[in-house]
Amino acid sequence: MTILFRRVHIEPEKLREIIRKNSDSLEFGLRFIDFQLGTEEEGFINFLGIDKNRRLAVVNCDSDENESMVLTALSQLQWLKKNESLLKRLFFSENVDMSRVPQIILIGPSFSRKAVAAVQQLSGHDIRLVEFKYSLAGNNDAIMFEEVVFRKAGAGNVVGLSEQPPVPEDIPDNARAGVCRPVAPVPENIEQPVAPFDEITLTPEEIAEFMNFDRKQTL
């Protein structure tokens, strides 16, 4: 059976939530160590992560096309450099390799021609531009990340795909199975199916949790 998905707009908070829970879908081994990190005039770093080589990664996302993301991320790199000693103390336990230039991952629904051209001219930094496509099919949603610009050759990651592209064997199970579903091409005029009023069922464990409740249990 073919599942039809309809591409829809996603709220920035939901996009951030999905990315937060699926850091591995952007790059294997990437782990977030901070969220919404304020950087004075340079705005918020949506996610500060470290990759498998202990290098910092600045991950910014926007639910709409935003040409200024590249410029913002570069100015945030400057802020990271300026505050290196503070970051070392802040993330002491993470053993971050501050000697290496952090990589930048920018996520958006699309990137303008100017943004792509600008990134391709930046030889000194590792910058990935990742486009996402968010879709709905009834109660299920799906998101697909696709790298559109990166110096190293490679296709984008598709999270939770039933017919997944081959992945290296050293990737753990939790990195293979995301919460998201694949996106199939959908004709523009197809209507979004309406979710039926479903009954919320409780598991026996959930019921037991409350059946054992004693209102005087803290005495």
Positions in the binding site for other proteins (CB under 8 A):
11, 13-14, 17, 195, 197, 199-200, 202-203, 205-207, 209-211, 213-219
Q: Rank residues 136 and 148 by Cβ distance to other proteins and give the closer one.
A: 136
* Terminal Cα-to-Cα distance of the chain (whole angstroms): 56
Q: Rank residues 153 and 219 by Cβ distance to other proteins and give the closer one.
A: 219
**Cα distances (Å, whole numbers) of residue 74 to 66, 108, 177:** 14, 16, 32
Least separation in angstroms between residue 5's CB and other proteins is 17
DSSP for 3-40 reads PP-EE----HHHHHHHHHHTGGGTSTT-EEEEEEEE-G
Which structure tokens are listed for 219? 């005495």
Least separation in angstroms between residue 194's CB and other proteins is 9
Q: Rank residues 14 and 100 by Cβ distance to other proteins and give the closer one.
A: 14
Least separation in angstroms between residue 197's CB and other proteins is 6
Residue that the structure tokens 């992945």 belong to? 167
Q: Rank residues 2 and 203 by Cβ distance to other proteins and give the closer one.
A: 203
